[in-house]
A and B are shown apart, each in its own frame.
Chain A
């Protein structure tokens, strides 16, 4: 439980004492009650649950079912349903069609033959219909039957499929996930047209329903892994789960760690690739992304583009990214180490040049770097938050103040502008948002180590960082697999082999089908 267990316990107790809890309990009791046979009585129950006259969204439409010769009522939430569907496929047939049913036909049976609704089911308790109404279903209550009929009429607003905002590519599909769960599922299924692609839903949320969709390919993904992910999702106890980004934080094994262990991607094609490698993909309503678990270091390092570009080009991009990875993490600290502790390392002319520009600067180099780094981080954060009409100002302010004025005012030396600029630029070349933040933060750790004891400090920190990276796991998969520890795989790590050589699924996933295709001639030796 850790050091915070004491507080947690207290919190729980407090919540238990709150009067709201008892209110909720009576509501729960009401919902578990059975549906009666009287129309009025049932309707009153629904109206009570949805606080009828107060809640203006809740609609009760009375009607007469001609075929059954009975009074009925349709209840739904106005804002969640497609009115056209209700009008054309429910109200019209129920009111106009006249079919004779045999004696003793059940309500559901009769309605199923009358309305033109795809998804239709019966319920005998209030709990299900209440939940379904919240999801955009319409519920038909017919007089004299001890059951109600739920019909899917949902229509929620969502934007059109657009380009992914943060994971753009030059070559390859430009579709990104949207806020609609259904659209997202179809985007994935469009890529993985496999009958074994399973979609399961786990219902969370103690007050408001939050559905988590778990997707995996049945005979590829390891069953125990799927079970583990599902169990982990089920363990989450919240009143409402806001979205995927929150879900990610609930699922993580190390919430305080700097290292992300779940991939958050906006691209359906990436999700599809991971599905085919045996990973599990999680989706949620109103979240324009998918979570992929488990993932390794390489998932954060690679982009979709690497695989779409030809072998040589893709690998070139990766080399560039690797370089920017190290530059973004280490440049400021190496600058400090070199200028403060290892001056002999720099060519003499350059040393003199640096010394000459630094002569008029009143601060130690570390302070200079910190000033610049912090300003740059502020610039970055401001750039994200600034209202778009005044966006260009940020560029001007940043370039002028940070670049020119600070140098002219002798607050920082010109060479430092180069250091910070290349560092900042490199950190933009890191594709994943979490990973980029991780590097931006570790940069400061290295900076402190370097200012304390030069390269020795940097290397000691690096050694510890590597040992730490090696030791963490994402759902049981070592983070740096298949490199350390070694597993058989297609060797798609820093470099990738040509596509025809990727005939193995990564073995650390313990997939049920470990081979993608027949081993090609000259294929990589596992």
Chain B
């Protein structure tokens, strides 16, 4: 037979995943959080956060390469059975809550802007159904799907930026250049590094990437690309709307797609961008779901985790239906708890693991 596909993904697929998960965050409520802190200089925050995350990311990849284990297994190996379980459980919880809260937030975007008369659970069911279908095809195929749709998503985004430019860019909105000041910016950059948190959770499937080198390459390229996307879009939001106005908007990305137009005949193009956005959303959450299932599987050392996808999908749907409205889910739960926790927990995790690894090594050489 032709070399059986090994179920692993390569650099391309991983870049695709990174871009669809991190890069598309500028289309939900993340920009509002950043703008609140960064004001006119909010576009610098993705760069700052990215620089902050590079260290832990490289450290983590170094450790994973050294031990040749997935993230959860590494945690177990270095931190032991009890502490390891706690940390691994935290990772699983982060993955699960991110899946639940973010899907819910996206469902609310769809409901508010495009289907105001449709019940939330119908929109949600369709979303989780599609996500489950894609996730159920396996990591390899999620990655390939991401890679396949990547060019189309990119083209759509580039077109959007140019259309926005054609609309009107007010460059004076960018000033004062440093916004609230260097110190506040740095603090905000540190606080909201969770934007890149996905990249620190993806190592859960480290062993399913062809080589460690591929992983490193893809992560770094992915980081740079997503950084560029975020910076460009934050700038576009500020240039088109001014940061004050964006703060009063719930979904700046969708506002932008509503504002742009191409001549008199194509005044409302949001539906076109909706199509691309839904596509990337489905792939994004299918990998979230898959990572959640995988971390659960490794957490309890189950041999197979793919049968978990269906129950986890159901769980996501049920938990996601709990919040009354998106304000509660997004602003309260996501911002106050998830993002804060993730911003501290995930970057510190590699440092902790590295410390333990060094300590053990010393102990080993001493004895």
- Residues on A close to B: CB < 8 A? 222, 224-225, 228, 294, 337-338, 341-342, 344-345, 347-348, 453-464, 466-468, 470-471, 473, 475-478, 480, 483-486, 508-510
Chain B residues, CB < 8 A from A455: 114, 271, 274-275, 278
Chain B residues, CB < 8 A from A456: 110, 114-115, 123, 126, 274, 278
Contact with A along B12-44 (1 / 0, CB 8 A): 110000000000000000000000000000000
Task: Give bound CA distance, A475 to B265, whole Å.
Answer: 48
Do residues B2 and A464 form an inter-chain contact, with CB atoms below 8 A? no
Give the residue of B114, B130, B266, B268 whose beta carbon is less than 8 angstroms from that of A463.
B130
Do residues B138 and A471 form an inter-chain contact, with CB atoms below 8 A? yes
Do residues B274 and A463 form an inter-chain contact, with CB atoms below 8 A? no
Residue of A nearest to B276 (CB): A459
Give the residue of A342, A475, A485 whose beta carbon is less than 8 angstroms from that of B144.
A485
Q: Say whether B329 faces chain A, with CB atoms less than 8 Å apart.
A: no
- The residue in B144, B266, B267 that gathers the most chain A C-beta atoms within 10 A of its C-beta is B144
Chain A residues, CB < 8 A from B141: 467, 470-471
Q: A345-B268, A467-B134, A467-B137 are in contact. Are A485 and B5 (CB under 8 A)?
A: yes
Chain A residues, CB < 8 A from B149: 463, 466
Q: A341-B114, A453-B115 are in contact. Are A470 and B1 (CB under 8 A)?
A: no
Do residues A486 and B115 form an inter-chain contact, with CB atoms below 8 A? no
7 contacts between A and B (CB under 8 A): A337-B271, A341-B114, A342-B114, A456-B115, A456-B123, A484-B13, A485-B144
Task: Give bound CA distance, A224 to B4, whole Å.
Answer: 11
Task: Give bound CA distance, A462 to B145, whole Å.
Answer: 11
Do residues A457 and B145 form an inter-chain contact, with CB atoms below 8 A? no
Do residues A344 and B1 form an inter-chain contact, with CB atoms below 8 A? no
Chain B residues, CB < 8 A from A464: 130, 133-134, 282
Kindly identify, within residues 271 to 304 of chain B, every residue whose CB is under 8 Å from any CB belonging to chain A: 271-272, 274-276, 278-279, 282-283, 286
Q: Nearest Cβ in chain A — how far from B296, in angstroms? A: 22
Interface of A, helix, strand, loop or mixed by DSSP: helix
Q: Say whether B269 faces chain A, with CB atoms less than 8 Å apart.
A: yes
Q: Say whether B147 faces chain A, with CB atoms less than 8 Å apart.
A: yes
Chain B residues, CB < 8 A from A463: 130, 134, 145, 149, 278-279, 282-283
Contact with A along B95-139 (1 / 0, CB 8 A): 000000000000000100011001000110011011001100110
Do residues A224 and B114 form an inter-chain contact, with CB atoms below 8 A? no
Residue of B nearest to A511 (CB): B2
Do residues B2 and A453 form an inter-chain contact, with CB atoms below 8 A? no
Residue of B nearest to A347 (CB): B265
Do residues B266 and A347 form an inter-chain contact, with CB atoms below 8 A? yes
Do residues B271 and A510 form an inter-chain contact, with CB atoms below 8 A? no
Q: Nearest Cβ in chain B — how far from A450, in angstroms? A: 11
Q: Say whether B264 faces chain A, with CB atoms less than 8 Å apart.
A: yes
Q: Nearest Cβ in chain B — how far from A233, in angstroms? A: 15
Q: Nearest Cβ in chain A — how far from B207, in angstroms? A: 18
Give the residue of A467, A476, A486 whose beta carbon is less than 8 angstroms from that of B2.
A476
Chain B residues, CB < 8 A from A347: 264-267
Chain A residues, CB < 8 A from B272: 345
Q: Nearest Cβ in chain B — how far from A292, in angstroms? A: 15
Task: Give bound CA distance, A117 to B144, whole Å.
Answer: 58
Do residues B148 and A483 form an inter-chain contact, with CB atoms below 8 A? yes
Task: Give bound CA distance, A225 to B1, whole Å.
Answer: 5
Task: Give bound CA distance, A508 to B4, whole Å.
Answer: 10
Q: A459-B275, A484-B144 are in contact. Are A345 and B269 (CB under 8 A)?
A: yes
> 5 shortest A-B CB distances, which residue pairs?
A484-B144, A476-B2, A459-B278, A342-B271, A460-B130
Q: Nearest Cβ in chain A — how far from B118, in angstroms? A: 7
Do residues B148 and A470 form an inter-chain contact, with CB atoms below 8 A? yes
A460-B130, A461-B130 known, 12 other contacts, Cβ within 8 Å: A459-B276, A460-B282, A463-B130, A467-B134, A467-B141, A467-B145, A471-B137, A471-B140, A484-B144, A484-B148, A485-B12, A508-B2
Q: Say whether B10 faces chain A, with CB atoms less than 8 Å apart.
A: yes
- The residue in B13, B126, B269 that gathers the most chain A C-beta atoms within 10 A of its C-beta is B126
Task: Give bound CA distance, A460 to B127, whole Å.
Answer: 7
Task: Give bound CA distance, A471 to B266, whole Å.
Answer: 36
Do residues A453 and B118 form an inter-chain contact, with CB atoms below 8 A? yes
Task: Give bound CA distance, A118 to B55, whole Å.
Answer: 79
Q: Say whether B3 faces chain A, with CB atoms less than 8 Å apart.
A: yes
Q: A345-B268, A485-B144 are in contact. Are A467 and B133 (CB under 8 A)?
A: yes
Chain B residues, CB < 8 A from A509: 2
- The residue in A342, A457, A464, A473 that gathers the most chain B C-beta atoms within 10 A of its C-beta is A464
Q: Nearest Cβ in chain A — how far from B3, in angstroms? A: 6
Task: Give bound CA distance, A466 to B279, whole Å.
Answer: 10
Chain B residues, CB < 8 A from A466: 145, 148-149
Do residues B13 and A345 form an inter-chain contact, with CB atoms below 8 A? no
Kindly identify, within residues 211 to 269 of chain B, every residue whose CB is under 8 Å from any CB belonging to chain A: 264-269
Q: Say whether B74 faces chain A, with CB atoms less than 8 Å apart.
A: no
Q: Say whether B142 faces chain A, with CB atoms less than 8 Å apart.
A: yes
Q: A347-B266, A347-B267, A459-B275 are in contact. Are A294 and B130 (CB under 8 A)?
A: no
Q: A453-B115, A455-B275, A484-B145 are in contact. Are A476 and B4 (CB under 8 A)?
A: yes
Do residues A344 and B268 form an inter-chain contact, with CB atoms below 8 A? yes
Residue of A nearest to B258 (CB): A344
Residue of A nearest to B264 (CB): A347
- The residue in B129, B130, B137, B269 that gathers the most chain A C-beta atoms within 10 A of its C-beta is B130
Do residues B2 and A294 form an inter-chain contact, with CB atoms below 8 A? yes
Do residues B1 and A486 form an inter-chain contact, with CB atoms below 8 A? no
Do residues A477 and B145 form an inter-chain contact, with CB atoms below 8 A? no
Task: Give bound CA distance, A347 to B262, whole Å.
Answer: 11
Task: Give bound CA distance, A457 to B129, whole Å.
Answer: 11
Chain A residues, CB < 8 A from B10: 485-486
Residue of B nearest to A457 (CB): B126
Residue of B nearest to A508 (CB): B2
Task: Give bound CA distance, A464 to B271, whole Å.
Answer: 19
Task: Give bound CA distance, A453 to B130, whole Å.
Answer: 14
Q: Nearest Cβ in chain A — how far from B46, in angstroms? A: 27
Chain B residues, CB < 8 A from A480: 144, 148
Task: Give bound CA distance, A345 to B257, whole Å.
Answer: 12
Q: Nearest Cβ in chain B — how far from A322, in angstroms? A: 13
Task: Give bound CA distance, A477 to B265, whole Å.
Answer: 45
Q: Nearest Cβ in chain A — how far from B281, in angstroms? A: 9
Task: Give bound CA distance, A461 to B278, whole Å.
Answer: 10
Chain B residues, CB < 8 A from A470: 137, 141, 144-145, 148
Q: Nearest Cβ in chain B — how far from A290, in angstroms? A: 20
Q: A455-B275, A460-B127 are in contact. Are A510 and B114 (CB under 8 A)?
A: no
Q: Nearest Cβ in chain A — how far from B289, in angstroms? A: 13
Task: Give bound CA distance, A342 to B111, whole Å.
Answer: 14
Q: Nearest Cβ in chain A — how far from B111, in angstroms? A: 10
Task: Give bound CA distance, A92 to B269, whole Å.
Answer: 86
Task: Give bound CA distance, A222 to B276, whole Å.
Answer: 39
Q: Nearest Cβ in chain A — how far from B113, in angstroms? A: 11
Do residues A485 and B118 form an inter-chain contact, with CB atoms below 8 A? no
Task: Give bound CA distance, A294 to B2, whole Å.
Answer: 10
Residue of A nearest to B133 (CB): A464
Chain B residues, CB < 8 A from A294: 2
Do residues A453 and B144 form an inter-chain contact, with CB atoms below 8 A? no
Residue of B nearest to A484 (CB): B144
Task: Give bound CA distance, A480 to B148, whole Å.
Answer: 9
Q: A453-B115, A462-B279, A485-B13 are in contact. Are A345 and B5 (CB under 8 A)?
A: no
Do residues A468 and B282 form an inter-chain contact, with CB atoms below 8 A? no
Task: Give bound CA distance, A475 to B3, whole Å.
Answer: 11
Give the residue of B1, B5, B126 whose beta carbon is less than 8 angstroms from that of A478.
B5
- The residue in A347, A458, A463, A486 that gathers the most chain B C-beta atoms within 10 A of its C-beta is A463
Chain B residues, CB < 8 A from A468: 133, 137
Do residues A453 and B145 form an inter-chain contact, with CB atoms below 8 A? no
Residue of B nearest to A452 (CB): B126
Q: A463-B145, A471-B137 are in contact. Are A510 and B2 (CB under 8 A)?
A: yes
Residue of B nearest to A464 (CB): B133
